[in-house]
Amino acid sequence: MTSPAAGKQNAGKLTLSRALNEGLRKAMENDPKVLVMGEDVGRLGGVFRVTDGLQKDFGEDRVIDTPLAESGIVGTAIGLALRGYRPVCEIQFDGFVFPAFDQIVSQLAKMSYRSAGHVRLPVVVRIPFGGGIGAVEHHSESPEALFAHIAGLRVVACGDPADGYAMIQQAISCDDPVIFFEPKRRYWDKTDVDLAGGVAAALPIDTARTLVTGTDVTLLCYGPMVRTCVEAAVAAQEEGKSIEVIDLRSLSPLDTETIFASVRKTGRCVVVHEAAVTGGIGGEIAARVSQECFYHLEAPVLRAGGYTTPYPPSRIEDHYLPDLDRVLDVVDRAFGY
Amino acid sequence: MAVKAAGQAASPSRSHDEPPPTPQLIQLLTPEGERAEHPDYPLDLTPDEIKALYRDLILVRRIDFEAIALQRQGELGIWASLLGQEAAQVGSGRALGPRDMAFPTYREHGVAWCRGLDPAKLLELFRGVSHGGWDPKAHNFHLYTIVIGAQTLHATGYAMGIQRDGALGEDGEAAIVYFGDGATSQGDVNEAFIWASVTNAPVVFFCQNNQWAISEPLDRQTRIPLYHRARGFGFPGIRVDGNDVFACLAVTRQAMQAAREGQGPTLIEAFTYRMGAHTTTDDPTRYRLSAELESWKLKDPIERVKQYLIRSGMAQESFFTGVSAEADEVGIRIRKACLEMPDPDPLSMFDHIYAEPSGLLEEERAQLAAYLSSFVSEEAAR
């Protein structure tokens, strides 16, 4: 079942899309109960090609082209999970998850609680998210905070191909429902991915990863902002500022231990996400950091993120999205207290 | 208001080129208690089987009465009565095999009974002691679902799992999902119809059309008989007398067996009536006429079985008094169970949210524990 390409790519670089594909393939090989379901995931291989070739190799019973209805995708995935399967649902774009919101929030998240632990729903809902691809409305959103607010869900975002490969397998083997955000504008970014290495050695899915070690300010990010923040750290180094960059990876639960340890060291904290800052993940982090690291802080926790607007038309999206300069601008402000 | 007036002004027949076909109703036992035959639904029951159905009907109604009384006495927060729908639930519930899976709404107390779930578990939910908390696998009876229609997709997905497990065939498995007339307007129910149809899933859609969605009559949900909708989705639809336990049994048996054998879904519309309020918080006198209720009382699902048993000489007075006494015992037992139900430990609210312990939740549990114990220590200080 291993793809012919896999061997050749063991030592090489993979795109995020390909790495996720390899991760899905591995999970399907390892566990016959793993299913992939969604719109256009079969013959087409998904609009971002994440499921490319899976139906050919695993058959239509395991890679299901579903009717075009998101509530149905998640609702039937719940039923399949009740029967012992581990469905991986693809929501084609972030803005299309809302028809499934009720099934995710009221059913998927709460079934374990409702059943006093008798029922587990190991369902993964994959959502390509974020902007920067010049798309029309509903194709560039970052709804992660809406899910992180819901008890019973795990919410994660992968930031690079290596993490994508490991995290999708970890999400599938997790017995809780996982909302799995994939940064769609990074689907074609390439990094080294160790396909031969087992996922057991990978960082646990609910653990943050320190990507750049620094001493002056902690920069917290996830998903598409990981690359931006690493680039910002390099640029800041040239200006003599030492930025510590942490990829949160898990948005629910948050790895507060890693966050607090870093902020206690640096004394400054900036949270970066594409999502609107109002009511976002950054606000939650700011509250917790302020409470737990109060006497270590040199400045208030600051946020760089989207404005409190709907996602704007693509010709002006660059002004909405935090980029390297916007991140550095907020970092500079953290030094102004 | 303008919108509503416009909607009402539309004639029900305006957009139909042909007169609608007369709805067909499968009935095997008339309201007067006379046996009717139907060529498609032969039903051969022994006297003991019929008596067992009667016993189910009586006990289920008794459980319902006891629960209403418990709510009135402040022991339950709310109760959703099944009064009038006993035959639909017992008939369909007794049509299931042990390996079939049933997905209920929050009103399927009669199905719960048939599946063997202790009625006290239902009281837990309505008392506010749990959100259900039973193991669906223990009796192949899923948790009550309160969001209208959501469970139809769960049943359909479960049925897709049956297909993938290769558990179809003469002694195969199937799922049945319960919902009401109001639910047929939900997107999830329509999506479930589509899914089941295109996947040919072994699922039976059992719609108890009790004529009312809280205060909204059927004409707020549909302009055609509900069972006709199945045709548009590409599978059979049948209307059965929902107050006829024989017909509900026969029709559901056949639909389940068709599903088990790989013939795909069926929509059963059990035409019945919600004789009570929507729940104990509802006041139906605000929206429906008592004459309607009186007319449905003549079609009572239990009385007709009793008449049939008496007329056919299958049961004597001692049988009826025996069942009645047993019903009282069940009532006493569940009342006692309800009154003895302890409130859950407040700290248990943090349980079972995730498969593994969560750091954040353990922290919050400790916070609540510390807060609660601060009151104890104040008392001790005095």
Distance CA B226, CA B231 (A): 10
* Closest by Cβ to A76, choosing from B134, B153, B162: B153
pLDDT given at position A12: 79
For the residues A88-104, what does the mean pLDDT come to?
98
pLDDT given at position B2: 39
Percentages helix, strand, coil for chain A (3-state, rounded to 5) are 40, 20, 40
pLDDT given at position A3: 46
Q: What are phi and psi of A139, to 5 degrees?
A: -115, 10
pLDDT given at position B113: 98
Integer angstrom CA distances of residue A223 from A163, A314, B145, B202? 10, 19, 35, 40
Q: How far is A175 from chain B (nearest CA, A)?
A: 6
Give the closest residue to A311 by CA, choosing from A97, A183, A138.
Answer: A138
Q: How far is B352 from chain A (nearest CA, A)?
A: 5
Mean of pLDDT over chain A:
95
pLDDT given at position A11: 52
Residues 356-375 of B with CB under 8 A from A: 356, 358-360
The question of whether B304 is a catalytic residue gets the answer no
Q: Is A120 at the interface with chain B, CB within 8 A? A: yes
Q: What are phi and psi of A33, to 5 degrees?
A: -85, -10
User: Given its phi and psi angles, is residue B101 left (phi above 0), alpha (psi -120 to 50 degrees) or beta?
Assistant: beta
Residue of B nearest to A74 (CA): B153
Best mutation target among B164, B165, B198, B200 (most A Cβ atoms within 10 Å) is B164
Collapsing DSSP states into helix, strand and coil, what is residue B40? coil
User: Given the structure tokens 């879904």, which residue do they identify?
Assistant: B265
B3: confidence class by pLDDT, cuts 50, 70, 90: very low
Distance CA B237, CA B267 (A): 5
pLDDT one-digit tens code per residue, B65-81: 999 999 999 999 999 99
Is the ipTM value over 0.90, yes or no? yes
Distance CA B152, CA B182 (A): 13
CATH 3.40.50.970 spans which residues of chain A? 4-201
Q: Is B376 at the interface with chain A, CB within 8 A? A: no
For the residues B232-259, what does the mean pLDDT come to?
98
The question of whether B109 is a catalytic residue gets the answer no
Give the closest residue to A122 by CA, choosing from A70, A80, A91.
Answer: A80
CATH 3.40.50.920 spans which residues of chain A? 209-334
* Closest by Cβ to B355, choosing from A72, A75, A120: A120
Instruction: Give A257: exposed, middle or buried? Use CB within 10 Å, 0-12, 13-18, 19+.
Output: exposed
pLDDT given at position A7: 44
Helical segments of chain B, H only:
2-9, 47-72, 86-93, 109-115, 119-127, 136-139, 150-164, 187-199, 229-233, 245-260, 290-297, 303-311, 317-339, 359-381
Residues 6+ apart with CB under 8 A from B379: none
Inter-chain touch A116–B133, beta carbons under 8 Å: yes
Residues B200 and B156: beta-carbon distance below 8 Å: no
Inter-chain touch A69–B159, beta carbons under 8 Å: no
Q: Among A158-162, A197-201, A288-292, B184-188, where is mean pLDDT lowest?
A: A197-201
Inter-chain touch B353–A77, beta carbons under 8 Å: no
Residues of chain A positioned with their CB less than 8 A from the CB of B137? 118
Q: Which long-range contacts (CB under 8 A, 24 or more apart) does A136-140 make?
A: A136/A314, A137/A95, A137/A310, A137/A311, A137/A313, A138/A93, A138/A94, A138/A95, A138/A96, A139/A93, A139/A94, A139/A95, A140/A94, A140/A95, A140/A311, A140/A314, A140/A317
Please name the amino acid found at residue B49: E
B9: confidence class by pLDDT, cuts 50, 70, 90: very low
Inter-chain touch A76–B160, beta carbons under 8 Å: yes
Inter-chain touch A106–B134, beta carbons under 8 Å: no
> Is the confidence at residue B8, as pLDDT, over 60?
no
Q: Is B349 at the interface with chain A, CB within 8 A? A: no
CATH class of A209-334: alpha beta
Inter-chain touch A99–B187, beta carbons under 8 Å: yes
Give the closest residue to B179 by CA, choosing from B221, B140, B123, B137.
Answer: B221
Collapsing DSSP states into helix, strand and coil, what is residue A74? helix
Per-position DSSP letters for A195-209, written without gaps between them: SSS-GGGSPPTT--E
pLDDT given at position A158: 98
B295: confidence class by pLDDT, cuts 50, 70, 90: very high
Inter-chain touch A80–B161, beta carbons under 8 Å: yes
Residue of B nearest to A59 (CA): B164
Inter-chain touch B157–A99, beta carbons under 8 Å: no
For the residues A245-257, what does the mean pLDDT come to?
98
pLDDT one-digit tens code per residue, A32-58: 999 999 999 999 999 999 999 999 999
Q: Is B246 at the interface with chain A, CB within 8 A? A: no
Integer angstrom CA distances of residue B131 from B65, B106, B321, B347? 21, 11, 36, 16
Instruction: Give A284: exposed, middle or buried? Use CB within 10 Å, 0-12, 13-18, 19+.
Output: middle
For the residues B263-279, what does the mean pLDDT come to?
97
Distance CA A159, CA B324 (A): 67
> Is the confidence at residue A256, as pLDDT, over 50?
yes
Q: How far is A14 from chain B (nearest CA, A)?
A: 33
pLDDT one-digit tens code per residue, A127-180: 999 999 999 999 999 999 999 999 999 999 999 999 999 999 999 999 999 999
Q: Is A2 at the interface with chain B, CB within 8 A? A: no
Mean of pLDDT over chain B:
94
Distance CA A303, CA A300 (A): 10
Inter-chain touch B188–A79, beta carbons under 8 Å: no
* Closest by Cβ to A114, choosing from B132, B160, B175: B132
Distance CA A275, CA A296 (A): 27
For the residues A108-133, what does the mean pLDDT come to?
98
CATH placement of domain A4-201: 3.40.50.970
Percentages helix, strand, coil for chain B (3-state, rounded to 5) are 50, 10, 40
Residues of chain B positioned with their CB less than 8 A from the CB of A84? 161
> Is the confidence at residue B11, as pLDDT, over 60?
no
Residues A106 and B181: beta-carbon distance below 8 Å: no
Q: Is A103 at the interface with chain B, CB within 8 A? A: yes
Quote the strand ranges of B163-215, DSSP E: 175-180, 203-209, 212-213
Inter-chain touch A82–B154, beta carbons under 8 Å: yes
